[in-house]
Amino acid sequence: MLPPKKLPVALTIAGSDSGGGAGVQADLKTFAALGVHGTSAIACLTAQNPKRVLAVEPCSPKILRQQIEAVFEGLPPRAVKTGMLFSAENIRVVADFFEKATGCKQLVVDPVMVSTSGARLLKPAAEKILREKLLPLAALVTPNLDEAEILAGQKIRSPEDLRSAARKIQVHFGCAVLAKGGHLKNCREAMDIFFDGKTELLLSAPFVKGVSTHGTGCTYSAAICAALALGRDLPRAVEVGKNFITQAISDSYKIGKHFALRQI
């Protein structure tokens, strides 16, 4: 009998999505699809569906930290991603933990400030802590178009604007950036820019017509995190993430009146 296969571990620190299409639920499905054992620390609970967010309630800082400590104690992750942290207190908990952690430096931060539906998912008071404490610890930050505008302090209306914003964010926070331009108008392809201070990548894929999806940002960053846990370097991990999310959108299916990503 062959010995059991040993899987690398990845950790998601994010919100729980009651609709099952985003947040921790999307992350864990993505980890499993890419052959990584997924662990989780719930930062907040949401009442949401693919159409809208009805309510958000953060977990206490104490239980959030205990969840992270429990995972690192028993199942040390090779890579970690953050999603919706929501409150300043919980962002501070995560930043304080990773400032002192020695076992894992592969931290992917999905800033989750604004949802695809336009809902504000990060308290205004928490943005300062995100900027000053968490982003400088990240290996990679993955803002969507609205979040990239906030972090770069500029409007983004073209691919060249997206490239400029990625460079500004990288210089300001010192981490690699994946600026996602999927909602850029008048573009024929879904275009993202990766920049780590040396390497710049343009990642593009054809738009899938007639599909409106939920949880793409969560799934994309989770796929990158899984690839890092599997030992890929950061540029290659970003390419794995782009290929995975493109396929997940292409193979999306209907649930009720909504589309869901196929994370298999």
State pLDDT tens for residues 72-81: 999 999 999 9
pLDDT at res. 212:
67
For the segment 10-19, the average pLDDT, to the nearest whole number, is: 95
Q: What is the mean pLDDT of residues 155-184?
A: 94
> Known catalytic residues?
180, 213, 215-218
pLDDT of residue 53: 84
- Contact criterion met (CB below 8 Å) for 224 and 177: no
Nearest to 175 by CA among 150, 140, 199, 129: 140
> Full-prediction pTM beyond 0.85?
yes
Confidence check: pLDDT of 87 > 60:
yes
Q: Are 172 and 143 in contact (CB under 8 A)?
A: no
- In the chain, alpha helices (H): 23-33, 61-74, 88-100, 124-129, 145-152, 159-173, 216-229, 234-250
pLDDT band with cut points at 50, 70 and 90 for residue 234: very high
Non-local (6+) Cβ contacts of 215 within 8 A are 17, 21, 22, 23, 26, 261
Cβ 239 vs Cβ 201: under 8 Å: yes
pLDDT at 152: 96
Average pLDDT of the chain, as a whole number: 90
Of 30 and 181, the one with more pLDDT: 30
Strands 258-260 and 253-255, bridge-based pairing: antiparallel
Taking only the tens place, the pLDDT of each residue in 102-146 is 767 799 999 988 766 566 667 778 899 999 999 999 999 999 999
Q: Are strands 53-58 and 37-48 parallel, antiparallel or unpaired?
A: antiparallel
Residue range 177-186: average pLDDT? 87
Question: In CATH, what class is 9-248?
Answer: alpha beta
Between 54-63, 84-93, 186-195, the lowest mean confidence (pLDDT) is in 186-195
Neighbours of 3 (CB within 10 A): 5
- Give residue 187's pLDDT band: very low, low, confident or very high (50, 70, 90): confident
